A and B are shown apart, each in its own frame.
Chain A
Amino acid sequence: MKERIGVYICHCGGNISDYVDVERVRQAVENDRGVVLAKTTVFACSDSNQNDMVDDIKKHNLDGVIVASCSPKLHLATFRSVTERGDLNKYTYVHTNIREQASWAHSDDKIGATEKAILLVKAAIAKSRYAEPLYPNQFEAEKTIAVIGAGISGMKAAVSLSDKNTSVILIEKENKVGGHTATWGPLAMSDEKGSDLSHRIYSDLLQRDNVTVLTGSEVISSKGSIGNFTLKVRKRAQQAGDPVETMEFNVGSVVVATGFDPYLPKAGEFGFSSYENVITLPDFKHLIDSFSGKYLEYRGKRINRIAYIYCVGSRQVDGENRYCSRYCCTSVIHAAIQAKKKFKEIYNFHFNRGIRTYGKQELLYAESLQQGDIYLQSFEDAPPQVYAENGKTKVKIKDVLTKEKELEIEADLVVLVTGMVPRADNSIGTMFKLPKGRDKFFNEVHMKLRPVETVIDGITIAGTCQGPKNIVESVNSALSAAAKSYSYISKGMLETEPIVAEVNTDLCAWCGKCAEACPFDAIGQKDVNGKQVAVINNSVCKGCGMCAPVCPPDAINLINYSSEEMMSMIEQLAGG
């Protein structure tokens, strides 16, 4: 039991102290049993405070350290490392969240927030008294890395990993690589063709000995965890009569780069499916990339007047997709410029909700205006309407830019600027248990501190599967994800998660219920002093705790989540 605990209560620069009276919290706990030091600090995570903590541990001979600050997601690792520098076992460190779960959640009740913070810190002290040092096992990590998805992000991640002398398995569901990018012609901001860009990256990949590219292949199952995933991959038969191949790979980390789906408008949405000359942006792009001729034609009809309707499937007020799809304003304006340059007598009408050509992409907006494109902006509560009249397709809008004038354009072609949505096929997400954000794309752990990592250790995410973005942004995210996955395995040795179950062999009467409950087959039987008891295989045990509640004599506890510890915390939270 700990007898020399140090407690640090963070102001978080006001984020906590603006609502929680941190000095009162300090006073409430400084005389608790086992506490020898209780301090407040403006930024617990700052360099100077971290150094002070190390000094305190040594000077006061602390055997337990608690920081009450922000969510453990941010700085659990930071403070564990501080305790290590003070020569304590890092698993004795206890963290409590009095920011997201006290000051912020109860910013409407400062007294309540302070009272809660006091109890949360007292519970942390109770936990700290029981916190045991843990010694994780080391194991050798698999050096190979799997990349799922061979679009632009997946391919670049594979190139980057290959450069670092890492073996890569690049797995692609379709029969071709290159994803969406490979299907496009000239791209915005560079005018290189998407097919050329994809081709040159793929050619580079083919020359590398350490990259295996599997097309027409899907990951059908995954077992294991960071440093040691076993993936089963099924390769589709290339021709009728060919066998279906199933392969197994052991990899240390996985980069998920499964991309996006384009939004598919509903029937009737801005005339989609109702009129044959209403198409989506991807289809428009393919049309102008591939069509050759002086004048643009679609389904045999000459196209002169094109109406673009922005934000279809994005920024929905009533729909599910509240987010902005980020890439579309730039892409459609680039396509409009391309169309006007390539074909004669094109007139572009942009029905938008505010143009978002951010950064240097703004120049495309200027170019489009220079070439005579007309921009009309709708009010947020009155989207443009598409309808047919006398055999012609018309688009009507109440225009913000001309003082609410109602304008009507006759359009030969209506292009719906569709956004990005997450892949309908979520098999990879389900298989790896990747949580999704509010926009339903895969969620990173922290946008700034850990932008390519997921809560599943060893799985990184790259490209548009994390959220809408353009090619430059996708490549940056892919290279960052590759670097992160590489960092997991590059040191060679990894540590197992030391939270495991432990059996009190005195109480155990071997009934087998724990072994039955364990989803990982980590519990076996063995003879201890003539008695058959349960035994935990520490290198397989994942620390989920499913075995603990089912034990009739209550002989199993999860380390650092023991009954004694939990009940002690509950007592403190109840008010002592």
Chain B
Amino acid sequence: MKKNAKILVFSTEKISDPAIDMAGLLKLHYPPTVYTITVPCSSGIKPSWILHAYEKGFDGVFIAADGSDCVFGESCTEKTGNVVSITHDKMKGTGIDPARLRMAAICSVCSESFVKQIRSFNDYLIKTLHA
């Protein structure tokens, strides 16, 4: 049985990626099958990328969003939400469990929150996909 799920994380350069760095600094361990791609803002993530990830074998995709801290303004939260709901629709359309996409606002020092979320996401994915 596979031990850990393969998770793709989209982090943001100024906000959530520093938190993920800090998780490493503080040696807060999470599965090594979690890979991060950094973008300027979570609202710029295209649904096609997320779907491509599932196609290529990722069990889950996690968007570590800017939340209200976003350096580009307040509309980020809403727009990131739109990206997620559009992707959810497409996932449902192609028979992919929408719970395989998660999004949470991760502030620049929210390392513990990030690790907790990833671990719980990992647990869920193992249970549903690899039980």
Contact = CB atoms under 8 A, between A and B. Distances in A.
Interface of A: 71, 73, 97, 99-109, 112-113, 115-116, 119-120, 123, 433, 435-438, 443, 455-456, 499, 517, 519, 542-550, 554, 558, 561, 563, 566-567, 569-571, 573-575
B46 interface: yes
Given A73-B21, A543-B40, A573-B35, A437 B27 contact: no
B79 A517 contact: yes
Contacts of A438: 109
Residue of A120, A554, A566 contacting most chain B CB atoms (<10 Å): A566
A195 to B, nearest CB: 37
A101 B36 CA distance: 8
Nearest to A557: B46
A73 B18 contact: yes
Given A544-B72, A549-B43, A573-B8, A100 B24 contact: yes
A126 to B, nearest CB: 10
Given A73-B18, A548-B44, A573-B8, A106 B29 contact: yes
Contacts of A554: 46, 48
Contacts of A456: 71
A116 B21 contact: no
Given A543-B40, A570-B53, 6 more contacts: A101-B20, A113-B32, A116-B33, A438-B109, A561-B40, A567-B48
A233 B18 CA distance: 32
Contacts of B82: 549-550
A456 B103 CA distance: 24
B52 A100 contact: no
Given A101-B24, A119-B35, A571-B56, A545 B44 contact: yes
A435 B16 CA distance: 11
B124 interface: no
Nearest to B36: A101
Contacts of A567: 48-49, 52
B33 A71 contact: no
A574 B6 contact: yes
B117 interface: no
Interface in B1-58: 6, 8, 14-15, 18, 20-25, 27-33, 35-37, 39-41, 43-49, 52-53, 56-58
Which 7 A-B residue pairs are closest in the complex by CB-CB distance? A545-B44, A112-B32, A100-B24, A104-B24, A574-B56, A105-B24, A100-B21
Nearest to A518: B75
Given A435-B107, A455-B108, A563 B43 contact: no
Contacts of B41: 544-546
Nearest to B39: A561
A93 to B, nearest CB: 15
Contacts of B39: 545, 558, 561
A545 B40 contact: yes
B14 A563 contact: no
Contact of B71 (A112, A455, A547): A455
Given A100-B25, A105-B30, A435-B15, A546 B37 contact: no
Nearest to A108: B29
A107 B8 CA distance: 20
Interface residues of B, number: 50
Contacts of B14: 435, 455
Nearest to A117: B32
A566 B38 CA distance: 10
Contacts of A543: 40
B82 to A, nearest CB: 8
Contact of B37 (A108, A558, A566): A566
A116 B79 contact: no
A105 B8 CA distance: 16
A571 B56 CA distance: 6
A575 B22 CA distance: 26
Contact of B45 (A104, A107, A499, A549): A549
B32 A100 contact: no
B101 to A, nearest CB: 14
A445 to B, nearest CB: 9
A436 to B, nearest CB: 7
Contacts of B95: none
A99 B72 contact: no
Nearest to A97: B21
B76 interface: yes
A563 B48 contact: yes
Contacts of A548: 44, 46
Given A105-B28, A116-B35, A545-B44, A574 B53 contact: yes
Contact of A433 (B22, B69, B79): B69
Given A106-B32, A107-B27, A549 B53 contact: no
A91 to B, nearest CB: 14
A120 B53 CA distance: 15
A554 B46 CA distance: 9
B46 A115 contact: no
A456 B108 CA distance: 13
A120 B24 contact: no
Given A105-B30, A546-B79, A569-B37, A519 B72 contact: yes
A558 B45 CA distance: 10
Given A105-B29, A575-B57, A435 B69 contact: yes
12 contacts: A100-B25, A102-B24, A105-B23, A112-B31, A116-B35, A519-B75, A542-B72, A544-B76, A549-B46, A558-B44, A571-B56, A574-B8
B34 to A, nearest CB: 8
Contact of B43 (A101, A104, A544, A570): A544
B105 interface: no
Contacts of A116: 32-33, 35
Contacts of B18: 71, 73, 435, 455
Interface string B55-88: 0111000000000011111011001001100100
A235 B44 CA distance: 38
A97 B25 CA distance: 12
Contact of A545 (B43, B56, B109): B43
